[in-house]
Structure 1
């Protein structure tokens, strides 16, 4: 990369880059001068992100990819290396969801969910670590969920897949423990204000929403950027998410019960909605960073600015550390 802890000129591959956390992460890395490889199913949505990243000064390679296809994932890694010579950071951010009690979904929806969230994540992790071993270093950032620790009975299958993703990340961390230049980071977001909820398969009978208090995607992007600069084993963001992790260590049964009741109760809106598969099978042609679930213009602006400020503060801290090291 561009220097110890710097992402300038680093080659960063991001899956799920067309929307939500992935899109916010792409914009954050572009603003810091990274060279980007952006992947998602929709080429049209990726073109939007490519334009925005180039406007921030980033070099961009767009590779429309369905991560459930082994050949497509291998092609993604191959094209990234062919274009930029290496991959410094691989951000695995793809996720789809199903909301509704167990049994309300179709078998095809279950297969698609597991294929994307579990099988696709495995394929990407394999490709990332193979590339890192060949070049001698690299950072894999796996975006999981607090629902890999805490239950929500309205999204049991989604939560199940995130338990699997967390299990994979924990095992990979041990697998690379003897290689100090290859790191695996696990990011566990709490509720985030993204379009994920409108695009999930929905069998609840009601419209979905981000469980309050939903955080700005820019804050998760800052956490991912921090992992690229200074890898950490596990990262989350926001006071509520940190409190939930601490509470779960102290009183797991009570915390699981409270979170399950809260999250199930506030996942839906009063307005009704017809059942449907969302974007499980067909990607939307456009993407967005935000889902519009945070009330109030001031709160939205503060969350977005806080995320951007956290990203910039991390870079300033890195520069200060490097300067102090040179003085010594």
Structure 2
């Protein structure tokens, strides 16, 4: 089950699950994008089920879960990826807009997790993947609503993980913290910036994020995965010197979130899908293909951390053995 599956990271992840031959349920509001990604999942070798729904509606999410299990069988993996955002200084965001971003991004994750647990806990089996961001730890200017919601998901997921561990449950939850990704969101979100909204470089392709999501679903014992060198660097610096990072972001990142040559004041998809019935299919990628990175060495290292740790330990043992042998000979 992948929420926010009609575009961006959700769409790339759905295709990646399909390539494994999985049965993939696709949830989003936009029917055009859902129909297109369903075809892509089938072409990749999987089975697809389109489930149009708004994740901020708890009853709709529960009904979607019932439909999925009736048509595809038990849900083994639930990926909470759907979100909404707005690019604007905080005083320019209305209360209704802030509430809507929170309901979609945070409560959508909560409602999806609840629907998944209602089915997974009795079976004592299943994995929930929360798609997060470096912004789940480190807020940046002009994205206060989105950063707040991602911080909330982080805290919620940690609390839930502790509860599952306390009860000895074999249901797993993990979180994938992503860098800036080349998705259509930057043309879809509401923007009140002077220019066209854009991600803070470096930018990665959604397929990199999708690989991390699929890996996390298969290896959920890790509490979280960091994807992208910028994510790792941001989180590490924030842990050591958050005040210094405050000043850096205020000085350098505030103005790096729009294109000076672009057109600002986008009305976005906050209240209705940009790819609703008859609307255009945006695909997985945004308009930043020329600068987006297709691979992330850091993401690969993160996925291989356990193997690398074992290799390093073996190397230390071998080196120690050689030193002892050398000493004995002398």
Q: Which of the five TM-score ranges fits, normalised by the shorter chain?
A: 0.7 to 0.9
Contact 1:86–1:135, Cα closer than 8 Å, also in 2:
no
CA drift at 1:134: 2.1
Q: Is 1:218 the counterpart of 2:207 in the alignment?
A: yes
Which residue, 254, 279, 287 being the options, matches 2:282? 287
Deviation, structure 1 residue 240: 1.8
Deviation at 1:30, TM superposition (A): 0.6
Where in structure 2 are the equivalents of 1:228-267 lying within 5 Å? 228-231=217-220, 232-267=222-257
Q: How far apart are 1:245 and its partner, in Å?
A: 1.9
| Corresponding residue for residue 41 of structure 2 | 53
- 1:17-44: CA deviations, max 9, x gaps? 0010000100111111111001000122
Once superposed, what is the RMSD of the aligned Cα atoms? Answer: 2.1
Deviates more, 1:42-51 or 1:255-264: 255-264
Q: Quick one: distance in 2 between partners of 1:38 and 1:74?
A: 14
Alignment correspondent of 2:97:
109
Count of aligned pairs: 295
2:117 corresponds to: 129
Per-residue deviation, 1:295: 2.7
Within-5 A mapping of 1:60-79: 60-79=48-67
Q: 1:269 aligns with which of 235, 252, 259?
A: 259
User: Is residue 192 of structure 2 the alignment partner of residue 197 of structure 1?
Assistant: no
What is the distance in 2 between the residues matched to 1:67 and 1:116? 6
Distance apart, 1:203 and its partner CA: 1.0
Do the aligned partners of residues 255 and 134 (structure 1) sit closer, same or farther apart at CA in structure 2, a change above 3 Å counting?
same
- The match for 1:20 is 8
Contact preservation (8 Å) 1:109, 1:277? no
In 1, Cα distance between the equivalents of 2:238 and 2:194? 31
Aligned to 1:303: 294
Q: Deviations over 1:112-162 (max 9, x none)?
A: 212211222211111111111122111100112211211211111211111
Between 1:52-61 and 1:119-128, the stretch displaced more is: 119-128
Q: Which residue of 2 aligns with 1:324?
A: none
Q: Which moved more, 1:232-241 or 1:244-253?
A: 244-253
Q: Which has the larger radius of gyration?
A: 2
Q: 1:146 to 1:241 in 2, by over 3 A?
A: same
- Matched ranges for 1:149-188 at <5 A: 149-177=137-165, 178-188=167-177
Superposed, 1:30-49 pairs within 5 Å as 30-49=18-37
Matched, 1:138 2:126: yes
SS of equivalent to 1:17:
coil
